[in-house]
Amino acid sequence: MHDIASLDEKYGLAGEIRFAHDASLGTVATIHNTEAAGTIALNGGQVLAWQPVGEAPVLWRSPERRRELFKPERGGIPVCWPWFAQHPSDPTKPFHGFARIRPWRIVSADRVGAATRLTLALVMAEGDRTLWPHPASLTLTVTLGRRLRVELVTHNTGPAAFTITQALHTYFAVGDIGGVRVEGLDGCDYLDKVDGFARKRQQGPIAFAAETDRIYLGHHGTARIVDEVLGRRIDIGKSGSASTVVWNPWVERSAAMGDMGPDGYRAMVCVETANAADDARTLAPGEQHALVAELSLADR
């Protein structure tokens, strides 16, 4: 467990960031500045909340809290690394990799204008070399203000190239999924995970009326969530990402997951900033790769 007092002293930015220990989440950093409020769990390097001043929360979190440390918290922005979804050759390895179920340590805290910037680094466990036999480091830099910028940097510190898939698996809060459409993916090919990974082409905006689980490939642009109920539009800009994953579990999948809360699926949609499937990234020895998501409320 971290020494909260020393974290506050060393990284608290005179009270802008406050650290606390949560029984199920571990050490949590709470940020309040003039532009927004946010919460980041050090376990998993997981942004849990982002709320610009005067706005409703932008990220969705399940009302069900995880009951054990190092089990992924449902919601916010889980870090999927060094593989997205199932491990390519060993299904017994943790789904979405292990970064989201490991402790992270604080590297630095500072300000960028009125925004608060916190950088964390993954603390690899001894056993991780069996999960991932490649020397690497992983850092997450969160810049939280009117916009939310999340940057995941992979550094190949070993002598050989390695290939990763990855995602910032962002859960967005919406008024009701029936009044939501996602724009910006028109004309993109996608793998439809609810139809045997069939390759299809998106026509027009995405609307939701059933379980939706799609990996859009070769997408480098901005996606936009249009929320008719909350009357807002959320832009998901990015760099270093060629895939966008769009997911809503709908009724049966939600019930099977058991941690979405009653009808939780109606209040969320995932639009994930990723490199998945065909968009896997190979890093040469010494190479660094930055996966960046830039979230903002349009015209707000």
Write the interaction track for ligand TA6 spanning residues 160-199; mark x where CB under 6 A is met and - where it is not: ---------x-----------------------x------
Catalytic (active site) residue 96: no
Minimum CB distance to ligand TA6 smaller for 99 or for 270: 270
> Which of 73, 151, 219, 272 is labelled catalytic?
272
State yes or no: residue 72 binds ligand TA6 (CB under 6 A): yes
Among 169, 183, 211, 252, the active-site one is 169
279 is a contact residue toward ligand TA6 (CB under 6 A):
no
- Decide: is 213 part of the binding site for ligand TA6 (CB under 6 A): yes
Output 262 or 286, the one with its CB closest to ligand TA6. Answer: 262
The number of residues that bind ligand TA6 (CB under 6 A) is 11
Q: Is 87 a catalytic residue?
A: no
In whole angstroms, the minimum distance from the beta carbon of 151 to ligand TA6 comes to 20
Give the distance, in angstroms, between the CA of residue 84 and the centroid of all CA atoms in the same chain.
Answer: 12
- In the list 272, 273, 293, 296, the residue contacting ligand TA6 (rule: CB under 6 A) is 272
DSSP the chain: ---HHHHHHHHSTTTTEEEEEETTTEEEEEEE-SSEEEEEETGGGEEEEEEETTS--SB-B-SSPPSSTTSPPSBSB-EEBSSSSS-SS-TTSPTTBSGGGS-EEEEEEEEETTEEEEEEEE---TTHHHH--S-EEEEEEEEESSSEEEEEEEEE-SSS-EEE-EEE-PEEE-S-GGGEEEES-TT-EEEEGGGTTEEEE--S-EE-SS-EEEEE-S--S-EEEEETTTTEEEEEEEES--EEEEEE-HHHHHHHH--S-TTGGGGEEEEEEEE-GGG-EEE-TT-EEEEEEEEEETT-
Nearer to ligand TA6 among residue 190 and residue 247 (C-beta): 247
Of 115 and 274, CB closest to ligand TA6: 274
CB of 213 to ligand TA6, least distance (A): 5
**Which of 50, 98, 172, 247 forms a contact with ligand TA6 (CB under 6 A)?**
247
Active site residues: 169, 272
- Residues in contact with ligand TA6 by CB under 6 A are 72, 85, 95-96, 169, 193, 213, 245, 247, 270, 272
